Amino acid sequence: MSPKSPQSSPATGASPASGTVDLATEFLDRSTPLGRVRNLLHRYPALSPGIVLIVSLIVFGIVSPRFFFANNLSLITQQVAVVGTLAIAQTLVILTAGIDLSVGAIMVLSSLVIAQTASQNHVPAVLALVLGLLVGLAAGALNGVLVTRLKLPPFIVTLGTLNVFLALSLLYSNSASVIGQDIPALITNTGNTFSVGGIGITYGVVIMLVLYIVMAFIMTQTPWGRHVYAVGDDKESARLAGISVNRVLLSVYVAAGAILAIGAWIQIGRADAASPNAGTDLNLDSITAVVIGGTSLFGGRGTIWGSLLGALIVGVFRNGLALAGLDVLYQTLAVGVLIIVAVSLDQWIRKARN
Amino acid sequence: MDSKGTQLTIAEDTRPGSTLPFTQPVLQAKRLVKTYGKVVGLDGVDLELFQGEVLAVIGDNGAGKSTLIKCLTGAEVPDTGELWLNGRRVQFRRPQDAKHFGIETVYQGLAVSPALDIASNLYLGREIRRRGFAGTVLRMMDTKLMRANAKRELDRLGISTLQDVTVAIENLSGGQRQAVAVARAAAFGSKVVILDEPTAALGVRESGQVLDLIRRLRDEGIPVILVSHNMPQVFEVADRIHIQRLGKRAAVITPTSHSMTDAVAIMTGASSG
Ligand SMILES: Nc1ncnc2c1ncn2[C@@H]1O[C@H](COP(=O)(O)OP(=O)(O)OP(=O)(O)O)[C@@H](O)[C@H]1O
Ligand SMILES: [Mg+2]
């Protein structure tokens, strides 16, 4: 540490301080306990949602004895499966400082293609799933092309495609649902359960968890994942570092489309049907899960696992409040408060850094 | 072009080893033009960078120094003009094109990713993958190796305060960030290193380290282009000085042929060199 005065500027006149800087005191800002907490939350974005989840589990467990019953826990996981899957796709897009309002619509369109081709067109189940995947990829690619080529803000692009995809869904399905009985078992099996320590877990939940593991690996361990963070963090810096920003953005929307198609499969099993009206709440719920999960809407900061925690928090709150006998409107109120708290927390954490 | 002729019109040949006959420039720009709408950033600029030299680029604010650097390195594509690398015509459409040829740049305003850690920034866009299955099939990065290398590069630069390469850039001071950007360019520049005001946020000691690094690169055979407003630094380290004025190259001088006052006079248009 140099005790030199900060006034000893060099000839450029631009330097704020001379001499060496003690990194530990500078970046950790340990002066106050609050500063320490802030730095911890900053370094581990999944920490705050993790704490919220644990606390809410304890509180709801105390309030309502039935909360920890096996069938209730099973119910929570099933309710989280679809939103949790959509949240993965949403996390990818939000990490690039974008937002995808069309996740629910893409999932619905994909689920209708899977269900209808398998039931009415008698396409083999596996092929129907592949067709659904292709629809998801194409829809994601459309978003990606509009964002990268026309340079439109993702919010506007996906607001447009949300309506386009919903209209296509209604056209394609004649506004009618396909019921589970008409759909091959392979497709609806995602709603079947098996027992883990007495708790019924659906295959859809397992697929979601596998997706989380795969995507968390990709985002933390591969160059592509790192480039997604870099693009969301600072596009120009990423470009100057030699990253093809548009290619990364396009691939993010395409990957999101693929994940949404898998979400469609899970949704068919969960609802035991494919309905053009299924996706309405899912858009906002997926964004809610991502935001509560500690991912910053400004991009470049957040984790895949945080979004699972976020989805679980929403699921636990809804379920716990219902068990406590409160009206649905209080669930909605609670989720709204959670969002505002999460975003405020993110702002507070970021403020330490500018 | 006559290989033995004296095509340099302005300064005498004072490059290191000036007893050698004229060699072709490592990097050469011919009549670069870059406009932004009505604003003319570059108005037909020539530049030659020779083996074993430090070429300083000076000029007033808005003279086109950064635009020139960007056009040399693929960050901007010039409207017209040519780039030659070791006698071969090249075109850089993107920054990675220039990197591909071993040209590394510290851009003004830094271009580091704040949320990524130091090691990730050093290796951004050129991550090392693991050997074998994990690297080729799973495409897993070798984080450990990259961190070890990053630490070595920072040590080489003598940045003693940056011990932990897993610290995010946003937690560093302005000068430390600059040091990371310089270290990145120095580590990967195998042909040419270009620095646009690399010492702007640095203290006296750190500036000295960067100047040492520039000399070391030159001595290792890597020519350096240094953009700076700091005249004493420029005159201390440069072999030749390219003076940029109103989007044009006003003159090329050397620290021995001209004084700082001369340089300032040319920069401001008080003298034509
Ligand atoms: N992206 C841009 N859009 C519009 N005009 C630009 C852009 N970049 C540079 N210019 C203009 O080009 C001219 C040269 O700018 P440049 O940044 O190259 O100057 P400079 O010599 O690097 O100045 P400084 O010493 O302040 O860094 C200026 O008039 C500037 O306003
Ligand atoms: Mg500049």
pLDDT tens-place string over residues B92-151: 999 999 999 999 999 998 778 999 999 999 999 999 999 999 999 999 999 999 999 999
Alpha carbon distance A199, A75 (integer Å): 9
Q: What is the pLDDT of residues A233-268, one digit of tens each?
A: 999 999 999 999 999 999 999 999 999 999 999 999
Using an 8 Å CB-CB cutoff, list chain B residues near A238. Answer: 113, 124-125
Q: What is the mean pLDDT of residues A134-155?
A: 97
Residue-averaged pLDDT of chain A: 89
Residue B65 CA, closest ligand 1 atom number: 21
Closest protein CA for atom 3 of ligand 1: B36
Using an 8 Å CB-CB cutoff, list chain A residues near B168. Answer: 43
Interface subset of B 129-148, CB within 8 angstroms of A: 129, 138-141, 143
Model pLDDT, residue A4? 37
Tokens found for residue A313: 């928090």
- Looking at the domain assignment, is residue A6 inside a domain? no
Of B94, B139, B203, the CB nearest to A10: B203
Q: How many domains does chain A have?
A: 1
Question: How many angstroms separate the CA of residue B76 from the nearest CA in chain A?
Answer: 10
Q: What is the pLDDT of residues B46-67, one digit of tens each?
A: 999 999 999 999 999 999 999 9
Model pLDDT, residue B22? 63
- Looking at the domain assignment, is residue A39 inside a domain? no
- Looking at the domain assignment, is residue A50 inside a domain? yes
The reply to whether residue A237 touches residue B113, judged by beta carbons under 8 angstroms, is yes
Q: Which domain holds residue A278?
A: 46-344
Using an 8 Å CB-CB cutoff, list chain B residues near A300. Answer: 113-115
- Looking at the domain assignment, is residue A86 inside a domain? yes
Q: Which of B112, B140, B180, B204 to mutate to test the interface with A (most CBs of A within 10 A)?
A: B204
Answer whether B54's CB lies under 8 Å from B237's CB. yes
Interface subset of B 32-51, CB within 8 angstroms of A: none
For domain B1-102+189-273, which CATH number applies: 3.40.50.10680, 3.40.50.300, 2.60.40.1120, 3.40.50.10240? 3.40.50.300
List of residues 6+ apart from B107 with CB closer than 8 A: A240, B66, B69, B70, B75, B181, B196
Picking from B139, B149, B87, B146, the residue whose alpha carbon sits closest to that of residue B120 is B146
b/e map of B148-169 (b: 16 or more CB within 10 Å)? ebbbebbeebebebbeebebbb
Alpha carbon distance A245, A99 (integer Å): 16
- Looking at the domain assignment, is residue A21 inside a domain? no
Model pLDDT, residue A24? 41
| Ligand 1 site, residue B260, Cβ cutoff 6 A | no
Distance B41 CA to ligand 1 centre (A): 6
- Looking at the domain assignment, is residue A20 inside a domain? no
Residue B229 CA, closest ligand 1 atom number: 25
Q: Which ligand approaches the C-alpha of residue B230 most closely?
A: 1
Three-state secondary structure call for residue B209: helix
Stretch among A130-139, A259-268, A338-347 having the lowest mean pLDDT:
A338-347
Q: Are strands B80-85 and A273-274 parallel, antiparallel or unpaired?
A: unpaired
Model pLDDT, residue B171? 85
CATH number, domain containing residue A195: 1.10.3470
Of A224, A230, A239, the CB nearest to B116: A230
| pTM greater than 0.80 | yes
Question: How many angstroms separate the CA of residue A136 from the nearest CA in chain B?
Answer: 24
Alpha carbon distance A342, A293 (integer Å): 8
| Ligand 1 site, residue B65, Cβ cutoff 6 A | yes
Residue A13 CB: number of other CB atoms within 10 A?
Answer: 9
| Ligand 1 site, residue B230, Cβ cutoff 6 A | no
DSSP string, B17-49: TTTSPPPPPSEEEEEEEEEETTEEEEEEEEEEE
The reply to whether residue A226 touches residue B111, judged by beta carbons under 8 angstroms, is no
Tokens found for residue B179: 């040091």
Picking from B13, B175, B24, the residue whose alpha carbon sits closest to that of residue B110 is B175
Alpha carbon distance A302, A61 (integer Å): 29
Distance B266 CA to ligand 1 centre (A): 19
Of B121, B127, B173, the CB nearest to A26: B173
Distance B182 CA to ligand 1 centre (A): 22
Using N-to-C axis directions, what is the helix angle for A70-95 and A223-233, rounded to 10°? 70
List of residues 6+ apart from A127 with CB closer than 8 A: A117
Tokens found for residue A253: 């929307």
Name the residue ranges covered by the structural domains of chain B: 1-102+189-273, 105-173
Using an 8 Å CB-CB cutoff, list chain B residues near A229. Answer: 113, 115-116
- Looking at the domain assignment, is residue A167 inside a domain? yes
Residue-averaged pLDDT of chain B: 89
CA B212 to chain CA mean position, Å: 15
Q: What is the pLDDT of residues A56-67, one digit of tens each?
A: 999 999 999 999
Pairs of residues, one from chain A and one from chain B, whose beta carbons lie less than 8 Å apart: 135
Enclosing H/E stretch for A195: strand A193-196
Q: What is the mean pLDDT of residues A106-111?
A: 97
Q: What is the pLDDT of residues B215-249, one digit of tens each?
A: 999 999 999 999 999 999 999 999 999 999 999 99
Q: What is the pLDDT of residues B21-49, one digit of tens each?
A: 568 999 999 999 999 999 999 999 999 99
Residue B197 CA, closest ligand 1 atom number: 27
Q: Report yes or no: B113 at the A interface, CB cutoff 8 Å.
A: yes
Distance A141 CA to ligand 2 centre (A): 38
Answer whether B225's CB lies under 8 Å from B241's CB. no
Question: How many angstroms separate the CA of residue A140 from the nearest CA in chain B?
Answer: 23
Closest protein CA for atom 2 of ligand 1: B36
